[in-house]
Structure 1
């Protein structure tokens, strides 16, 4: 049995679709603000693999709640990793492009130095360090710009606003790879299975959609696929200030995914599927 931390998030919901036999722990069963409860849950269920799809993801709010964000994103994953190491089972932990400073224009490789710009990135980096320090079989999967038909995300926001407005001003100087939650879920399951037989593949991996684009470019694609006439106006990040600074360069080099037989997903194809699903729900 695979044990998944997370139940209502975008990736957790896609994991439930792809692996309905997995056990999913929501906040009422394992609150990540109580890291000891996470350890106890793993010990109690004795799974063959663990996937951590839960996190504190309020990037701006984290600037005022860094201690809580660090407990959930840092201490809890470290505790999970310790329990997994004790039981000899692999842990797949989802991380983020926010561990980098977003400098330059080249894709970041997994082994490049980290330098988070804000509290959220620091909290996620603490989790990475804790998972690695536990010394067990693990994969830290850094991803970016997650979208799906569930929860709150950029695609759903653009569709809602694009239906009501003729023009939207969208940031064009932040570049990254939109990544569907379903693709992330599939990657997590594939990696979890492979790590059981090949713990030597443990390490940090990057997984993001291709090709790289800006938020404005992503918005244009959303409007085109959805058949909306809303025009997108490019603006710099300085015209859309937020409490937390966003990395300008979120490109990630995903070449090492080949060790698991995985490749970067085409976000255009995944976007078409998500929009079709949303239209079906409407």
Structure 2
């Protein structure tokens, strides 16, 4: 199966290239700020399926650059999905828990009403709506707290700070499921193949690691498994203000993903150990 991937150096794109023989396009080959170029790339490569693993992910910067974020996260996926629909090939797109309002303590179901808190979530929701409206075979995977041995993510940040400091204050009232990029990539590849055979699997799904945890407790296990030993002090979100509001509840219900694709939520503790092993820790 010839799979075209938008993204080359990001966390999920890197894992896709490790797991399968894909054509991965970086910004130099397909700049998502130019949606027409993305559509042209699909037509040029004539793949059997397309996975969009690229996005504007600078959550705080999006607050002052919402137009740019919306082009990359909304207009570009729209162009990709429309082109795939015209060509009759499946399209797999990665979205985020930030499309929800982050309230309550119950995991968000796939059909829960959306309500983004900021520009990043709004831009991703524009993309979701466009992919669904394109009329082709598609899967949208909403995910959360993506981590890996490469790129910028919470694990890498904690390892750097853990080596530098004896005491860290970490937010403890935001709860979610850390999700290894390797598991997201595996599911994207499986979805692309299954969609090619059964377009009725089109829909919106969730993929997040288990068990749900706070950032502070996630940090504690990172240090426990890596051998660093800074003191972790719990703080509320109000003590760590950021330009963009973060959702307090990032829990997501993965039951529909399990029912349709037969895959359980990945255990992020196993994924974390794999990441640390890759980093030589």
Q: What interval of TM-score do these two structures reach, taking the shorter chain for normalisation?
A: over 0.9
Alpha-carbon distance in 1 for matches of 2:229, 2:221: 12
SS of the residue corresponding to residue 249 of structure 2 reads coil
Aligned to 2:30: 30
Residue of structure 2 in register with 1:264 after alignment: 265
Q: CA deviation at 1:261?
A: 1.7
Match of 1:241 in 2: 241
Matches within 5 A, 1:114-263: 114-258=114-258, 259-263=260-264
Alignment-derived partner of residue 7 in structure 1: 8
Distance 1:80 1:55 in 2: 13
- How much does 1:134 deviate? 0.2
1:99 has 2:118 as partner:
no
Aligned partner of 2:73 in structure 1 is 73
| 1:100-157 deviation per Cα after TM superposition (whole angstroms, max 9, x unaligned) | 0000000000000000000000000000000000010000000000000001111011
The structural deviation recorded for 1:90 is 0.5
Compute the RMSD of aligned alpha carbons.
0.6
Mapped pair 1:49 → 2:34: no
Deviations 1:17-45 (A, max 9, x none): 001x2101100000000000011111111
Offset of 1:228 from its aligned partner?
1.2
SS of match in other structure, 1:279: coil
Following the alignment from structure 1 to structure 2, what is the Cα–Cα distance between the partners of residues 279 and 160? Answer: 14
Match of 2:19 in 1: 18
Structure 1 unaligned runs (5+)?
none
| Secondary structure of 1:50's aligned partner | strand
Q: How far, CA to CA, are the matches of 2:168 and 2:277 in structure 1?
A: 22
* Aligned equivalents of 2:119, 2:261: Cα separation in 1: 31
Q: Deviations over 1:171-190 (max 9, x none)?
A: 00000000001010001001
| Aligned partner of residue 232 in structure 2, secondary structure | strand
Deviation, structure 1 residue 263: 1.2
Instruction: Supply the distance in 1 between the matched residues of 2:277 and 2:221 (Cα, whole angstroms).
Output: 14
| 1:195-220 deviation digits (Å, cap 9, x = unpaired) | 00010010000000000000001000
State the SS of the aligned residue for 1:111: coil
Superposition deviation, residue 10 in structure 1: 0.4
Q: Residues of 1 paired with 2:257 and 2:110: CA distance?
A: 11
Shift of 1:167: 1.0
1:233, distance to aligned residue in structure 2 (A)? 0.4
- Cα drift, residue 79 of structure 1: 0.4
Alignment TM-score, normalising by the size of structure 1? 0.98
Q: Distance in 1 between matches of 2:175 and 2:219?
A: 12
> What is the match of residue 86 of structure 1?
86
Question: What number of residue pairs does the alignment pair up?
Answer: 279
Structure 2 distance, partners of 1:177, 1:31, is 30
Q: Structure 2 length normalisation: TM-score? A: 0.98
